[in-house]
Amino acid sequence: MDRGGRLSTPPIRVDFGRLRYFIALAFETVGMPPADARVVAALMAEADLQGSDGHGVIRLAQYLKRIRAGGVNLNPQIRVVQERAAMALIDGDNGMGHLVMKRAAELAIEKARIAGVAWVGAQWSNHAGPASLYARMMLAHDMIGLYFAVGNANHLPPWGGLDMLLSTNPIAAAIPAGEEPPVVLDMATTVAAYGKVKAKAARGEMMPEGWMIDREGKPLTDPRRAAEGFLLPIGGYKGYGLALVVGLLAGTLNGAAMGKDVIDFNQDVSSATNTGQAIVAIDPAAFGDLAQFKSAVDKLVRDLRASERMPEVDAIRVPGDRSHALAAAQRVEGIAIAASLMQTLDRLAEQLDIPPLRTN
Amino acid sequence: MDRGGRLSTPPIRVDFGRLRYFIALAFETVGMPPADARVVAALMAEADLQGSDGHGVIRLAQYLKRIRAGGVNLNPQIRVVQERAAMALIDGDNGMGHLVMKRAAELAIEKARIAGVAWVGAQWSNHAGPASLYARMMLAHDMIGLYFAVGNANHLPPWGGLDMLLSTNPIAAAIPAGEEPPVVLDMATTVAAYGKVKAKAARGEMMPEGWMIDREGKPLTDPRRAAEGFLLPIGGYKGYGLALVVGLLAGTLNGAAMGKDVIDFNQDVSSATNTGQAIVAIDPAAFGDLAQFKSAVDKLVRDLRASERMPEVDAIRVPGDRSHALAAAQRVEGIAIAASLMQTLDRLAEQLDIPPLRTN
C-alpha cells in the first residue's frame, strides 16, 4: 500500500483510536481546548484511515507550527453571520478548518431536512483536510453531500498565463447507495496533485507528459524542475474554468480569499488565511422515495462494475471504492504510517513531551 | 469565425429576430402552440447568437422529426411534483426540454429570492440546448446559476471499461460580475465533444492524442475510426467520476434516465427520453453585500486577464469571454449560418411551406 515501503522499511500499523489519541494530545500541548482537539484529531485520523494520507497526521507538525505562530485562533467564536431557509454563511473566526466545516456540515444537514437542500459557506476558515470528509458527513443522514474549497496555495496560472492565481480547488461529492458502498468523488482540478510530483522527485522518477508544463507551455517531465513550471488543469482550459468557478463559489461568494488574496500556508504560518469552503446537503427524500433512489444508485453502480473491460484492466472501479476498501482494511489491520513519518512523529512526541504514537 | 467557410462559401448572416421567427414558424407547422414555439425558438436562436451552434437551429430538423414521430409531447402538463422551501422536482411530461428548463429556472429564481439558494430538478424532460442558456438566466436577477444535465446519448464507458454507460454530462455555471462580463462556464466532461470529432473527419484531419482511445485503451487519432473507440473524459478517471456524479444529480436523483436507461436520441426518435436536468440558483445578496461581491468578481477577473502570458498567447481569457464577444458582434452583424446549413434550412422551409430563412 505504502509506496515508501518499497524503498525503505515497511510502514508501522497503529489503530484508529491510538492515532486519534496521539493527535488530540499533541494539540492539547499547544493549548487547544480538549473537546476541540478530540474533534480535529478524529477527522485527521479518519483522513489517514481512508487513505487520504496527504491530509492526515502528516499535517500535524505544520498545524502545530501555525498555531504556535499565532496563525490559528484556538478559541474561535464560530458563528452564523448570514442565514436564510436554505443557506448560511459561517464566520470561522480563524479557527481550525475542521471545526468550522464540521459545524457547517451539521448546519447544512439540519436545514436540508426541512428545506430539502441547503448550502452553507464559510469565511475565515482554515485548511480542513480532505474534501471528502465533509461531503461524507451527509451519508449517515441518507443525504447527498457536495463540498467545494479554495486550496491553501496557488499552483495554477490562468490558461495561457504565467502568474500563479489559482489553487487546485477541490470538489467532493458523496452519494448514498443501498447495498453498494456510497459513491464518493474527491478530486483536485489538476491532473496530478502537487504531492504526487514531490513523490516522483523523492523516488528519482520522471513524470509522464500531461502533469506539468514549463513557462513556454512545453511538457515538463523532470520533477526536480517542478518549481520552473505549473500543474496542468484537467482538460486544459476546462479545468482552469472549473478551478475558477469552484473558487468563486467557495471563496469570493463567502467573502473569503481567492486569487491574489490566497496565502501560501506553506510559506506564511502567521497570517490568517481567510480560507473559504462551501458545503451542500441534498435530501433525496425531498425528491421522492428514498429506498427507490438508493436502489437506482445500486443498479447504476452494478451496471458500471459489470461493464466489459479493456485488456489488462482487473476491475471497473467506482469513485470511493479504493478509500472504502482501505478504510475497512485499516480498521482491522491498523492504519499504515510510513516509517519516515513515524520517525518524524517520534521526534515530535519527544519535543511535546507526550507518549510517542508507536507505543502510546 | 465559421470553420466551414474555409472549405466552401462564406456563411450567410441573419439577424436574431428573423432566425427566431423562422424557427417558431417551423414548430407551428407541426402543431406546437404558438406561445411555446416562440419560447423554444428564442432559446435556440440565443444558442446560435452566442456561438453554441451545435445546439441552435442546426437541431431544428432533428426536433421536428422527433415531434412528428410522437417522441415529444406538444401539449405537456409541466408540473411541480415535489416541493420544499429550497427545492422542487418538475415533471416535464415529455415536453420540449427548453420549456421545462425555462420553467425550472424561473422557479429556482423565485425560491432562491426567499430561501437564498434553490435547487430545481426535472424528470421527463428533453434535450434543451446548451447548458449555459439556463445557468445564464440567473444573471438578469443578479444571481449565480448552476446547471447539470444527463446527455442524450452515451459516448463514454466507465474508466477501464468498454460498455457505453455514460454521456458527456455537461456542467454550466454563470456568475454575475459588476463592470466585467459575467463568468460563464459551459463544459462537457470529455476532452473533446463528439461534434469536434465529426468536424475533424469532415475536414480530413487527424485528431490529437488525448481525444479518443480505442478498445485496447490505445490512442485513436483517425476520426474516421471514431466508431471503434471512445471519447476520453477530462483528467482520465477524474472526468469519469465527474460525469457519473453529474448524472446522479441530474438523472438518478430526479427519477430520470441514467446509465443503461439513457436513450440515444439520434437513433430512437419516438421513445420518451426521460431526460434529467437540474438547475441551482444562488442569491449572493443572501451571503452579504451584492455590490461588494460583484466588485470582488471584477477584481479577480481583471487579475486573471492581467497575468503575464506564455509566448504566443495573445490574451488571457475568462470562461464566457468568447460567447459574450460573439453574441455582441452577431447582434450587430447578424448570426453566421454556415452555407451548408442554410441549404438544409432552405429545403426544410420548402417542405414545411414556410418562407425560407434567407429571405423571410
CATH number at residue B41: 3.30.1370.60
Nearest CA in chain B to A83: B286
Q: Which of A115, A245, A318 sits opposite B85 (nearest CB)?
A: A115
Give B161's DSSP letter: B
- B164 belongs to a structural domain: yes
Nearest CA in chain A to B233: A235
Q: Is the pLDDT of residue A328 over 50?
A: yes
Residue B299 at interface with chain A, using a CB cutoff of 8 Å: yes
> Which of 301-340 (B) contact A at CB < 8 A?
303-311, 313, 315-319
Residues A143 and A199 in one domain: no
- The rounded percent of chain A whose pLDDT value lies above 90 is 87
Chain segment B56-108, per-residue pLDDT in tens:
999 999 999 999 999 999 999 999 999 999 999 999 999 999 999 999 999 99
CA distance B108 to B116: 10
Q: Which of A89, A171, A300 sits opposite B288 (nearest CB)?
A: A89
Contacts of B209 in chain A (CB under 8 A): none
Nearest CA in chain B to A238: B187
Q: Is the pLDDT of residue B164 over 70?
A: yes
Q: Which of A86, A237, A260 sits opposite B85 (nearest CB)?
A: A86
pLDDT at B24: 98
Q: Is the pLDDT of residue B4 over 60?
A: no
pLDDT at A203: 85
Residue A351 at interface with chain B, using a CB cutoff of 8 Å: no
Task: Determine contact, residues A232/A211, Cβ cutoff 8 Å.
Answer: yes
A101's grid cell: 466545516
pLDDT at A198: 80
Residues A169 and A261 in one domain: yes
| Amino acid letter for position A157 | P
> Which of 74-133 (B) contact A at CB < 8 A?
82, 84-87, 89, 111-112, 114-119, 121
Note whether B245 contacts A309, CB cutoff 8 Å: no
Chain segment B240-292, per-residue pLDDT in tens:
999 999 999 999 999 999 999 999 988 999 999 999 999 999 999 999 999 99
Give A267's DSSP letter: T
Residues B222 and B138 in one domain: no
Task: Determine contact, residues B32/B74, Cβ cutoff 8 Å.
Answer: yes
Note whether A89 contacts B242, CB cutoff 8 Å: no
Q: Is the pLDDT of residue A4 over 70?
A: no
Residue partners of A15: CB distance under 8 A and separation at least 6: A334, A335
> Which of 166-185 (A) contact B at CB < 8 A?
171, 173, 175, 183, 185
Q: How many CB pairs under 8 A join A and B?
A: 267
Q: Which of A86, A163, A234 sits opposite B117 (nearest CB)?
A: A86
Residues B226 and B244 in one domain: no
A243's grid cell: 478551478
Q: Which of A163, A284, A303 sits opposite B307 (nearest CB)?
A: A163
Cα-Cα-Cα-Cα dihedral of A199, A205, A210, A215, to 10°? 90
**Rounded mean pLDDT, B109-113:** 98
Q: Could you please report the per-residue DSSP string of B166-188? A: B----EEEEE--SSSPPEEEEE-
- B23 belongs to a structural domain: yes
The count of domains in chain A is: 2
Confidence band of B3 (pLDDT split at 50, 70, 90): very low
Question: Which of B107, B357, B255 lies closest to A291 in space, CA to CA?
Answer: B255
Q: Domain with A197 in it: what CATH number?
A: 3.30.60.50
Please, what sign has the CA dihedral across residues B21, B23, B24, B26?
positive
pLDDT at B194: 79
Contacts of B183 in chain A (CB under 8 A): 244-245, 248
Residue with cell 427566431: B20
Residue partners of A54: CB distance under 8 A and separation at least 6: A130, A193, A195
Q: What pairs with residue A282 in β-bridges?
A: A117, A144
Task: Determine contact, residues A155/A255, Cβ cutoff 8 Å.
Answer: no
**Alpha-carbon A150 to chain mean position:** 11
Residue B284 at interface with chain A, using a CB cutoff of 8 Å: yes
Task: Determine contact, residues B155/B196, Cβ cutoff 8 Å.
Answer: no
- B280 belongs to a structural domain: yes
Note whether A114 contacts B308, CB cutoff 8 Å: no
Q: Which SS3 state, helix, strand or coil, does residue A152 take?
A: coil
Note whether B316 contacts A160, CB cutoff 8 Å: yes
How long, in residues, is chain A?
360
Q: Give which of A82, A83, A87, A297 to mutate to test B binding, by max B Cβ within 10 Å.
A: A87
Chain segment A5-52, per-residue pLDDT in tens:
455 689 999 999 999 999 999 999 999 999 999 999 999 999 999 999
The alpha carbon of residue A316 is apart from the nearest alpha carbon of chain B, in Å, by 6
What is the number of other CB atoms lying within 10 angstroms of the CB of residue A291? 12
CA distance B208 to B228: 16
Nearest CA in chain A to B300: A259
| Cα separation values, B82 from B91, B146, B254, Å | 9, 20, 10
ipTM of the complex: 0.95
Nearest CA in chain A to B183: A245
pLDDT at B196: 82
CA atoms within 13 A on the CB side of A3: 11
Alpha helices in chain B (DSSP H): 4-7, 16-29, 34-49, 60-68, 97-115, 131-136, 194-203, 237-250, 284-287, 290-305, 321-333, 339-352
Contacts of B277 in chain A (CB under 8 A): none
pLDDT at B197: 86
Q: Give which of B238, B246, B309 to mutate to test A binding, by max A Cβ within 10 Å.
A: B238
Residue A54 at interface with chain B, using a CB cutoff of 8 Å: no
Chain segment B330-352, per-residue pLDDT in tens:
999 999 999 999 999 999 999 99
| Cα separation values, B263 from B48, B60, B150, B165, Å | 25, 19, 11, 11
CA distance A13 to B192: 45
- The rounded percent of chain A whose pLDDT value lies above 70 is 98
Note whether B300 contacts A258, CB cutoff 8 Å: yes
Task: Determine contact, residues A219/A226, Cβ cutoff 8 Å.
Answer: no
- A316 belongs to a structural domain: no
pLDDT at B227: 87
Residue A217 at interface with chain B, using a CB cutoff of 8 Å: yes
Task: Determine contact, residues A42/A50, Cβ cutoff 8 Å.
Answer: no
Give B230's DSSP letter: E
> Which of 13-42 (B) contact A at CB < 8 A?
none
CA distance A197 to A218: 17
Residues B169 and B249 in one domain: yes
Residues B224 and B262 in one domain: no
pLDDT at B8: 60
Burial readout A246-280 (b: 16 or more C-beta within 10 A, e: otherwise): bbbbbbbbbbbbbbebbbebeeebeebbbbbbbbb
Q: Is the pLDDT of residue A132 over 70?
A: yes
Residues B149 and B282 in one domain: yes
**Alpha-carbon B358 to chain mean position:** 25
Residues A263 and A337 in one domain: yes
**Rounded mean pLDDT, B3-20:** 80
Q: Which SS3 state, helix, strand or coil, does residue A149 take?
A: strand
Residue with cell 514549463: A214
Q: Is the pLDDT of residue B1 over 50?
A: no
CA distance B9 to B19: 20
The pairing of strands A117-125 and A275-282 is: antiparallel
CA distance B150 to B190: 13
Burial readout A334-359 (b: 16 or more C-beta within 10 A, e: otherwise): bbbbbbebbeebeebbeebebeebbe
Confidence band of A3 (pLDDT split at 50, 70, 90): very low
| Cα separation values, B127 from A279, B55, B72, B123, Å | 29, 9, 10, 12
Give B225's DSSP letter: G
By residue range, what is the domain housing residue A145? Answer: 4-190+233-289+326-352
**Rounded mean pLDDT, A150-158:** 93
Residues B213 and B118 in one domain: no
Q: Could you please report the per-residue DSSP string of A183-238? A: EEEEE-SBSS-HHHHHHHHHHTPPPPTTSEEETTS-EE--GGGGGGEEEPBTTTHH
Q: Which of B239, B258, B319 sits opposite A244 (nearest CB)?
A: B319
pLDDT at B5: 43
Task: Determine contact, residues B283/B113, Cβ cutoff 8 Å.
Answer: yes
φ, ψ dihedrals at B273, nearest 5°: -80, -20
- B310 belongs to a structural domain: no
Note whether A287 contacts B89, CB cutoff 8 Å: yes
Chain segment A81-128, per-residue pLDDT in tens:
999 999 999 999 999 999 999 999 999 999 999 999 999 999 999 999
Question: Which of B76, B102, B61, B40 lies closest to B266 in space, CA to CA?
Answer: B61
| Cα separation values, A12 from A21, A201, A332, A336, Å | 16, 23, 14, 6
- B248 belongs to a structural domain: yes
Note whether A144 contacts B317, CB cutoff 8 Å: no
Contacts of B86 in chain A (CB under 8 A): 85-86, 111-112, 115-118
Residues A338 and A198 in one domain: no
> Which of 263-282 (B) contact A at CB < 8 A?
282
Task: Determine contact, residues B118/B108, Cβ cutoff 8 Å.
Answer: yes
Q: Please give the radius of gyration of chain B, using alpha carbons only, rounded to the nearest integer.
A: 20
Task: Determine contact, residues B250/B121, Cβ cutoff 8 Å.
Answer: yes
Note whether B159 contacts A239, CB cutoff 8 Å: no
Residues A61 and A160 in one domain: yes
- A28 belongs to a structural domain: yes
The alpha carbon of residue B211 is apart from the nearest alpha carbon of chain A, in Å, by 10
- B22 belongs to a structural domain: yes
Task: Determine contact, residues B299/A268, Cβ cutoff 8 Å.
Answer: no
Nearest CA in chain B to A295: B252
- B231 CB burial (10 A radius; 0-12, 13-18, 19+): buried
**Rounded mean pLDDT, A157-179:** 96
Residues A121 and A218 in one domain: no
Task: Determine contact, residues A156/A164, Cβ cutoff 8 Å.
Answer: yes
pLDDT at B192: 87
CA distance B178 to B352: 45
**Rounded mean pLDDT, B297-322:** 97
Nearest CA in chain A to B164: A307
| Amino acid letter for position B259 | G
